[in-house]
Structure 1
Amino acid sequence: MADPPGGAGDPAKMNWSSPGEFSSLTTKELQQNLRLEKRRERPVQLLFEIPSSRIVHQSLSKHVVHEVVVMRSGSFDSRRVSVERRYSDFCQLHHKLQEEFREELEEVQLPRKLLTRNFTLDGMSERRLALQDYLSQLFALRCIRHSPLFAEFFTTPEQRQAHVLLRAGQFKASVELLQTILEIQEKLLLWQKPTLLVPTLSALVVCYRDLDQPEEAICTANRVLPTVRRYGLRVYRAALLELMVDLGYQLGRPVAQLQEELTVLRDSERGEATQRSLKEVVISNFI
């Protein structure tokens, strides 16, 4: 009879310090254990792929946008998440990084602008491979992969668009975009501060509340509140607590502790910052 997972026959759970047990393993079990050990030791990395490009035609001009896919190694990425960026976006990123990390970037060169063949299949393919390699070189530098500038490259345009939609009352469209942003940020989170997710999660709370989805709103609020508390984000904290109290009453949940926390916070720091709604706080980030 086969052993259950985690039992005596599971190579992942065996005590490998015993020579007797080691010698009794089959070749297949040894190979399986080796793969498991390598998987545990292999550090998680970000991988970048630019699989496609397209030409955008405007009234008096045209330009190329490249699909940039962000993936994590070491685990199965079940969802393909990508954004589109122009070559000029890469130029802006490089310029910002050079202002802060000029010495560290001495060996990293931004692919040169093509003077011809910009819109040919060969030219776009060549550009994709060069930009893909450029992102990998940036990520290889510790100072860059931990820099907020690197994370912002993958999300800021979409965040601005999501907030435009939010201000226009197009909450469903905003949620779809914010969820994509959140997935990318979660892939980047190992190398960024946890506060990276706060603006996105807070915007989702606002959208869910205005879409009359209180369960989703309170669930997302509960996810973001610990980070807001831990890092002392007072503007978010007061607005978030106020919204959570309202949602708690709506859902028939206990709110006494949240109400007390909100009262203490407002008494300790009187001012306009603690009186703004969460929607006002969220929108102010991208005005």
Structure 2
Amino acid sequence: MTEPEPQRDLTDPTPVDPGNPPSCSCLTTKELQQNWREVKQRERPVRLLFEIPSSRIVEQTVHKYVVYQVVVMRSGSFDSRRVFVERRYSDFSCFHHKLLEEFDEELEEVVLPRKLLTGNFSPEIISERRLSLQDYLAKLYAIRCVRRSPHFPKFFTEQEQKRAHTLLRAGQFRLALEQLENILEIEEKLLPWQRPTLIVPTLCAMAVCYRDLKEPEQAFGAAQRALPPVRRYGLKQYRAALLGLLVDVGYELGRPVAQLQEELIRTKDVERGEVSSRSLKELVIRAFT
């Protein structure tokens, strides 16, 4: 005769094994609530946080100014790298006026800290302004149309992009890569609220730098990452140039590139007259001229 199964003590606090969860009918209300809390914690939405932890005074021959270190990081997930940019008050002011041109009504209650004519360099004023600018960025991010606007990522990357392309045009590829890697980190943090095409110019510039530095593996990897959004969103100006680089570098690495070569031929054939004959390097160099 089969032994009856022992009754489970419903007051037993032993945690449920997440790798082998029991059916809902076997769970107590307390255990269901605990499981639900764990699920919600795992699926916590990712948000952006902005901190301005420090600032410094830059003194030049005829004037001086304060630059603020703006840290961009994600919440709701493990973020191992706190990337930052440096911005002056005038950068914030220019950014704010661009946003007002499009979102005047939405920004009715978002006020940029006012410009001061005196006392700008006292530690107390700088500290107060630092916290005010941090609060300003948080309020902007809370407005859906603003955080999805192209102006938003430009504020955090445009200066660095121009600097990177200046270095690239000068042939200083390693220094350009340092800028581009920082830009890519920020753009990837912004991707949940921006189209994937945001990272295409950066990845293309990185591919060019790696190729000229004789690092074909990294060049192939950067170009390979850029290709899917280029295909999906029809960025014709990049497609043939990217494919051309992938085919050339792929041959160098001994990769199978027959399909990429066929796609390149089809692309040039289908988009004849619309596809630029420029190389990827030429496209990248012209991006910020």
Contact 1:16 1:22 in 2 (8 A): no
Secondary structure of residue in 1 paired with 2:161: helix
Work out the percentage of aligned pairs sharing the same amino acid: 65
| 2:28 is the counterpart of 1:22 | yes
**Pair 1:214 & 2:216 matched:** yes
Question: Structure 2: 5+ residue runs without aligned partners?
Answer: 1-14
- 2:44 is aligned to 42
Q: Which of 72, 77, 80 matches 1:70?
A: 72
Distance 1:58 1:260 in 2: 56
Q: How does 1:1-287 map to 2 (within 5 A)?
A: 9-11=16-18, 14-15=21-22, 17-18=24-25, 20-22=26-28, 33=35, 35-271=37-273, 273-287=275-289
Instruction: Calculate the TM-score normalised by the size of structure 1.
Output: 0.90
Q: 1:149 is aligned with what amino acid?
A: H
Take 2:28 and 2:205, find their aligned partners in 1: how far apart are those partners? 54
Shift of 1:273: 4.2
Q: Is the 8 A contact 2:268 2:275 kept in 1?
A: no
More helix by share: 1
Q: Deviations over 1:189-227 (max 9, x none)?
A: 000011000000000000110110000111111111111
Question: Structure 1 pair 277/179, CA: closer, same or farther in 2 (3 Å)?
Answer: same
Write out per-residue CA displacement over residues 65-89 of structure 1, whole angstroms, 9 at most, x where no aligned residue.
Answer: 0000011110121011000000000
Seen in structure 2, the aligned counterparts of structure 1 residues 263 and 12 have a Cα distance that, compared at 3 Å, is same
Q: SS of the residue aligned with 2:24? A: coil
Gaps in structure 1 of 5+ consecutive residues: 1-7
Report the equivalent of 2:9.
none
Instruction: For residue 179 of structure 1, report the CA deviation from its aligned partner.
Output: 0.5
Equivalent in the alignment of 2:6: none
**Aligned amino acid, residue 198 of structure 2:** L
What is the RMSD computed on CA atoms of the aligned residues? 2.0
**Residues 222, 91 of structure 1: alpha-carbon distance in 2 compared, 3 angstrom cutoff:** same
Structure 2 distance, partners of 1:173, 1:221, is 19
Q: Counterparts of 2:287 and 2:167 in 1: how far apart (Å)?
A: 14
Q: Once structures 1 and 2 are overlaid, which stretch shifts more, 46-55 or 256-265?
A: 256-265
* Corresponding pairs, count: 275
Deviations 1:136-161 (A, max 9, x none): 00001000011110111000000000
Cα 1:192–1:186 shift into 2, 3 Å: same
Cα contact 1:56–1:64 (8 A) shared by 2: yes
Partner of 1:3: none
Q: 1:15 to 1:109 in 2, by over 3 A?
A: farther
Change (3 A) 1:142 1:24: closer
DSSP 3-state at the match of 2:56: strand
Does the CA-based 8 Å contact 1:266-1:274 persist in structure 2? Answer: no
- AA aligned opposite 1:147: S
The change in CA–CA distance for 1:100 and 1:250 in structure 2 (over 3 A counts) is same
Paired amino acid for 1:248: G
Q: What is the rounded CA distance, in whole Å, between the counterparts of 1:202 and 1:125 in structure 2?
A: 39
**8 A Cα contact 2:203 2:226, kept in partner:** yes
Matched to 1:185, the amino acid is E
SS of residue in 2 equivalent to 1:66: strand
Write the distance in 2 (CA, Å) between the matches of 1:35 and 1:181. 36
